[in-house]
Chain A
Amino acid sequence: MSDTLIPLLIVVPILAAVTPLVAGLWYENAGWPIAAVTATVLFGLAAWVARRVFVGGRIVHELGGFSRPIGIELVADELSALLVLLNAAVVLGVLAFARTAGPRGNAFYSGYLLLAGGVMGVALTGDVFNLFVFLEVTSLTTYALVASDRSGASAYASLKYLIVGTVGASLYLIGVGYAFLATGTLNMIDLRQQLAAVGYTDPLVQAGFGFIVAGFFIKMAVFPVHVWQPDAYQRAPDTVTTYISALVSTGAAYALIRVTYGVFTVEFLRVNEAFTTAMLVVAGTSIVAGSTLAVVQTDLKRVFAYSSVAQFGMIAAAVAIGNRTALLGAMVHLVGHGLLKGGLFLGTGLLRQTHGVRTVDDLAGLAREAPYTAGGVSVLGLALVGVPPSVGFVGKWYMALGAVEAGAWGIAAVIFLSTLLSLLYVGRIVEQLYFGEDSHDAEATTQAPAPTPDASGQQPASDGGVRAPTGDASIAEMASRSVPRAGLAVLVLAVLTAVALGFAGVAFADVLDPVLGRFFA
């Protein structure tokens, strides 16, 4: 019976996505409550499915009752369950932030829920063409969401993303077409057997894999084809940046792992060493270039955007290395990066909302004014560097270990170098937060009462006096500039999860063991 819950994970958000628009005809602010209810239901469903999967193993649902080679399957295994959980958690968490940060409007929440449904579909589908459709559902809504603040700059960033992203998806489709020509099937499990029968050195199969990987690299924003990502992240509203940074590229990277190992198998990688070498070179370049570019950025969102380029390069490298340890690292880092990056964008989004923070230098001395938010951002940042105990450390550790096991010393060195570079850009942020010269502090204390941190970190911004020199206005402004409780609670939860998962390295290995067993069978 539990297998009927799997299609619900996709159907519920997609159907619910229609309701804000319909309800919007009568109620102006119907979007948020509907999204909140849906997200809660979705989280419950995701938790239930994940529990069933972790306890009882893989669940397969045949859509419409058509069996394997003909029909489309939805498959929930341990890896997809992890992604489903991440997706549901992010949907729920970002919603709390969206209430105060906007953008408002029912159409926004329609897109929001549609994106959730799309990522769920990517995580659960067992059919390569269906995967294309869900990737495009995800991407289309992302383009709309990036432009949802109605400014020209964000529309331009979104259009850039649309063109590059569609080329990526189309390349994937060509790859699927080649695989289909070679085998005549689209189901992942069937395709896996058929491809093995056709032979991994068949030019059609090789070309298909090449196109598929190229397409996913574009969607993941790996270095030479990352150009869409920093602009899209920077121009998008804070809520949207938080949302898509945690989910969209993650979905593409998940699809890369799924198709590479679930369809083409590790044997294909072993036979076609030229492909793995090329992937390693591109991924290695991406790691170095992404980290370096992140260091030289001044805009906070761009720092984290380029950091994502490096992190996804790492995941791509681990996929190309092709041993159990590295792939486990890639899977952990996939989930970990989603959590960390989402949390970081949330934290900086909160600070931007309350203190107008835009660049790294704007953060100067904010630890005194918003200690809890600043603390959260710092911890998440250090987790991204890979300081133990954190989920970032676990992922990087396994990936580096896998690289060493495979004798890929270049990749191990590059991961180490990237860690140093990430320490540089995260260090800059932490330094500004805690030791940055707080030039308005002295003035502020004369006008505002001495700040006393309360339990929830709802400390009023003490530089209100500087921003609005007249007394009355400053009080009104201070009230509106305290960090929103809901967003802060989500940030704290993200921090706690990131740290708690840092102790769960062995648990990850246990949970993902069946998947790895199937991939390396």
Chain B
Amino acid sequence: MIEILATRHAYATFTVLLCIGLYMMIANKNLVKKIIGLNLFQTAIFLLFIASAYVEGGQIPIVHKGKVGHETFVSPLPQVLVLTAIVVGVSLTAVGLALCIRIHEEYGTLRTDALREAMREEDVLPGEESATEPAVVTDGGNVAGNVTDVGDGSTVAGDDAGDNSTVAHDGGESR
């Protein structure tokens, strides 16, 4: 065990970082911290590639003209891959943070529990709005089977909510 930690500490760090990142993404309620967890997760993978590319006494793989030595060269491929992966990671972080800004503007919070609460309320609010616009809610009567007065939007909407609370009435926002 100690032997492994002493000689393969990079890989051990990779595993630990991976787990920390994953745990942050799952357990942390703050969206920005989730993104930080995501970054940790990705960094762990970069570490895996870089650590695997290490060659004891290796040289940069540039062979000068007329000078063919017998040195050990390091494969540049893993470094290039990590460079690309970093670019991907940075763009992902940028998009993620941009989304966080949007969410914060709209709801004033970045905690998932508070957000879920706010969105549940939001889902109800447009539904109440649609009650003032009767034709949008035309299904309630059919579900209940006995409500025929469609013009009376409030009755229908009430039925609707009673029958099925998961009906999403958030259309006002979607376009």
Using a CB–CB distance below 8 Å, which chain A residues touch chain B? 101-103, 129, 132-133, 136, 140, 143-144, 147, 149-156, 158-159, 162-163, 166-167, 170, 173-174, 177, 180-181, 184, 186, 234-235, 237-238, 298-299, 352, 356, 358-359, 361-362, 364, 436-437, 439-440, 443, 463, 466-468
Contacts and interface: CB of A to CB of B under 8 A. Distances in A.
Which 10 pairs, one residue from A and one from B, show the smallest C-beta to C-beta distance?
A: A152-B106, A467-B135, A361-B139, A151-B173, A155-B102, A466-B135, A159-B99, A439-B141, A437-B142, A136-B88
16 contacts: A102-B175, A129-B81, A129-B84, A143-B99, A152-B102, A155-B103, A159-B31, A163-B38, A166-B92, A177-B52, A299-B166, A352-B171, A361-B139, A437-B141, A443-B150, A463-B138
B35 A156 contact: no
B16 interface: no
Interface centre among B35, B147, B168, B171 (most CB of A within 10 A): B168
Nearest to B18: A174
B102 A147 contact: yes
Contact of A364 (B45, B95, B142, B173): B142
B16 to A, nearest CB: 14
Interface of B: 22, 25, 31, 34-35, 38, 41-42, 45, 48-49, 52, 75, 77-78, 81, 84-85, 88, 91-92, 95-96, 99-100, 102-103, 105-107, 115, 119, 122, 133-136, 138-143, 145, 147-148, 150-151, 164, 166-171, 173-175
Contact of B134 (A143, A149, A155, A466): A466
Contact of B92 (A140, A174, A356, A466): A140
Nearest to B52: A181
Nearest to A464: B135
A170 B40 CA distance: 11
Nearest to A235: B174
Q: B interface, by DSSP: helix, strand, loop or mixed?
A: helix
B150 A184 contact: no
A159 B164 contact: no
Nearest to B88: A136
B167 A170 contact: no
B142 A359 contact: no
Nearest to B48: A177
Given A155-B103, A162-B95, A298-B166, A359 B52 contact: no
A149 B173 contact: yes
Nearest to B116: A156
A439 B138 contact: yes
Nearest to A144: B95
Contacts of B143: 361
Contact of B167 (A143, A299, A443): A299
Contacts of B81: 129, 180, 186
A170 B138 contact: no
Nearest to A137: B88
Contact of B35 (A101, A153, A163, A299): A163
A14 B115 CA distance: 35
Nearest to B174: A149
Contacts of A352: 171
A362 B169 contact: no
Nearest to A468: B135
A162 B106 contact: no
A490 B119 CA distance: 34
Contacts of B119: 152-153, 156
A362 B138 contact: yes
A362 B34 CA distance: 37
A186 B85 CA distance: 15
Nearest to A165: B92
Contact of B100 (A102, A159, A184, A186): A159
B134 A170 contact: no
Contacts of B174: 149, 151, 154, 235, 237-238
Given A152-B102, A167-B22, A174-B45, 19 more contacts: A132-B85, A140-B88, A143-B99, A155-B102, A156-B103, A159-B103, A162-B96, A167-B25, A173-B85, A177-B45, A186-B77, A298-B167, A299-B166, A358-B168, A364-B142, A437-B142, A439-B148, A439-B150, A468-B135
A27 B138 CA distance: 41
A171 to B, nearest CB: 9
A352 B171 CA distance: 10
Contacts of A359: 139, 167-168
A155 B122 CA distance: 14
B92 A155 contact: no
B99 A155 contact: yes
B139 A174 contact: no
B19 to A, nearest CB: 13
Contacts of B147: 439
A103 B173 CA distance: 12
A436 B95 CA distance: 43
Contacts of A147: 99, 102
